[in-house]
């Protein structure tokens, strides 16, 4: 199940896209202006964004830059303008694809699939998605955590935090980076969030939560996941 963010100020276009996407088992969020789009992109972490360039409140290219400032999520631009310059500008700003209106729904969906597909993590045989420690097991793909032979339930925020840490296994991840990746680009100083959620992760996964061996604090710098 993939999540899509649709951004367009024409309600009928949004409606058509939402219907078609939901029929194909996508989760869909919708925004009709740039500010909402940026907010939803940060809050919902879509797997792909369909973005109309002609928005009422801000330039579409600025929206692209705003998103690219903190994530590489695929952006599929939808636009009525067909000039080469517009396309080049949007693509160089960070868009992944550019489709001109009117568009064929089948083609758009195929381009969407292509964008999602190539954004998938490189599933090289050697680097399994399952990470094991002596205390617990994490399967990032299946979104499952095991400990002592039973499943551990994690909330969405806990998962997100765990994911960032595990993907950077062995490396220090700064507080700012964690906050921005999990809570969105407008966060960066709210380290109290981190303290609370790190405590949750430790309580749920560490054998001895008060003496963490895998979720290590580096005072003043950040956190590190050690296998």
Partner DNA sequence: CGGCCTCTTGACGCCTCCCTGACGCGCGGC
Partner DNA sequence: GCCGCGCGTCAGGGAGGCGTCAAGAGGCCG
- Could you list the residues that contact a copy of itself (CB under 8 A)? 72, 74, 84-85, 87-88, 91-92, 94-98, 104, 106-107, 109-111, 113-114, 117-119, 122, 125, 128, 141-144, 153, 155-156, 159, 168-172, 218-221, 224
Which among 137, 155, 133 is positioned nearest to 145, based on CA atoms? 137
- Report, in Å, the least distance between residue 113 CB and a copy of itself: 6
Residue where the block lists tokens 């992760």: 201
Cβ-contact 190, 179 below 8 angstroms: yes
Using rule CB under 7 A, residue 129 touches DNA: no
Which residues on adjacent β-strands are paired with residue 139? Answer: 130, 144
CB burial of residue 163 (10 Å; 0-12, 13-18, 19+): middle
**x/- map, 28-67, DNA, by CB under 7 A:** ----------------------------------------
Residues within window 135-174 making contact with DNA, judged by CB under 7 A: 153, 155-158
Cβ closest to a copy of itself, residue 35 vs residue 193: 193
Laid out side by side, the sheet with 215-218 consists of: 172-174, 222-225, 215-218
Contacts of 177 by beta carbon, 8 Å cutoff, 6+ apart: 164, 222
Q: 158 contacts which partner out of DNA, a copy of itself, none, CB within 5 to 8 A by kind?
A: DNA
Cβ closest to a copy of itself, residue 57 vs residue 107: 107
């Amino acid at each position: 199940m993939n999540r899509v963010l649709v951004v367009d100020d024409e309600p009928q276009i949004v409606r058509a896209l939402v219907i078609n996407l939901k029929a194909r088992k996508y989760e869909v969020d919708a925004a009709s202006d740039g500010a909402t789009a940026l907010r939803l992109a940060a809050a919902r972490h879509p797997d792909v964004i369909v973005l109309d360039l002609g928005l009422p409140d801000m330039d579409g290219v600025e929206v692209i830059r705003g998103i690219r400032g903190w994530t590489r999520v695929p952006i599929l631009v939808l636009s009525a303008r067909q000039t080469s310059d517009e396309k080049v500008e949007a693509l160089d700003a960070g868009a992944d694809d550019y489709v001109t209106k009117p568009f064929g729904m089948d083609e758009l969906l195929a381009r969407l699939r292509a964008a999602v597909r190539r954004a998938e993590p490189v599933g090289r045989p050697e680097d399994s998605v399952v990470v094991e420690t002596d205390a617990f097991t994490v399967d990032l793909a299946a979104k499952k955590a095991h400990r002592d032979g039973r499943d551990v339930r994690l909330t969405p925020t806990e998962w997100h935090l765990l994911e960032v840490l595990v993907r950077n296994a062995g490396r220090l991840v700064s507080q700012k980076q964690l906050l921005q990746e999990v809570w969105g680009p407008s966060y960066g100083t709210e380290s109290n969030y981190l303290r609370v959620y790190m405590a949750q992760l430790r309580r749920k996964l560490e054998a001895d939560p008060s003496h963490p061996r895998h979720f290590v604090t580096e005072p003043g710098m950040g956190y590190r996941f050690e296998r």
